[in-house]
Structure 1
Amino acid sequence: MRPGQEQRFNVWTDPEFGIYSPWYGDASDWGRIRFFGIYGRYQDNLKTVQPWRERILFGTEMTGSPDVGNFFFKPFYGARYVYHTYEGGDQTQDLIDGWLGVSWKIGDFSFSSMYFRRWADGSSPLAWDRYADNENFYQTVSFPLPFGASWEKWTFSVTAAYDNISQEIASMYYSVNYNKHCTTWHLWISDNKAGDEIKAGLFFYINAYPDIKIGIQSETNSEATKKSF
């Protein structure tokens, strides 16, 4: 899935089941790694109703952000491999993702630049689950907003995604974070320029568990949006 070119499909699904190992290693000491597996059953609803199909994923991912002390640039990087297999065994997919970036600060302004590359091979019997090569560059700028009490923190961020394949700015992402004590509210607007679509949403999370979010978002229709890993 390339930025700004999200595809929408009508998909029925049973609950997914996933198993994730603990992270091994330390991201600040060159890297950490974990393994995962996901099982699910899905049914495409295209012009005609398709049969239910099982999908099993096996994967591993690594992330790193080594401690470089007071050096101006803070590097970060990661990689992910995901193997897809499907009911019947006649089709498989392999995805290899890699990303490399740096972050830095100038006064109250924070910057982050990241290069992302995906290599995709194979095919899927599920229309929403077909991936292609992907190459993008992301640039983020964020800064604090000058209001709120001393125990509150407001931050505005904007991210531009540049599609290196189509050679255009594919999407813009705007957000405002409100951080109070141990919780954060995140209001966002996504402008998918290549797909000519604007979406917005709001979610909430506890700072100690940033991967667990509760929220809502707008949709242009009721169909499922293809998700990437």
Structure 2
Amino acid sequence: MSHKKCFSWKYYFTLSVILLLAVGWGAPSALAQNRDSGQAETPTIEEKTTDMQKIDGFFPLYWDEKAGTLWMEIARFDTEVLNLGGLAAGLGSNDIGLDRGQGGGSRIVTFERVGPKILMVQPNYRYRAISDNPDEVRAVTDAFARSTHWGFKVAAETDGRVLVDMTDYLIRDTHRVIPRLRPGTYRLDKSRSAVYMPMTMGFPKNTELEVSLT
């Protein structure tokens, strides 16, 4: 028997008000760039996004209708932003408990460039040194690991701004819905999942991305 459940998941990137509290606790990580001159020349963002629909906002978005992919422009490196997620639509079952508007947690992240990659990194603020002594700050930073949530490949670049493909990052079960579905056995079917463009929007202080997952 084939089982199918559909739900919508929403992501947010917005300015982090906690940034004001974090200033001075640790030195920002340096950009590590190691570009291979033998590689093919990276196109500009303008060249790459020709014929794509642009959505201006905190992080500008580009929708490729033909390929069904969503691209994001990143110019804010080593800047803390809030990354939030939640269910945009419920499953219609009180027993399972997946309700519309249910939050999926929030985290502070930064985008860091390392050569041809952009890493989405979450600093570890559970353990930190509030001190004027740089050795103490460094000791605590080195003792407790941070988390790298995703790695993106730079697909285009213009004046320090880069373009990355967000599609694979978005179309996944970050809310761990699948283990809660019953009866039956379920898996995420990417062929029946897609970016939900009517609710993917950009604003001056935040960017919202929504996907429909099956």
Same fold flag (TM > 0.5): no
TM-score by length of 1: 0.27
**Which one has a larger percent strand, Structure 1 or Structure 2?**
1
Give the TM-score taking structure 2 as reference length: 0.28
**Would you tell me which structure has more helix in proportion to its own residues?**
2
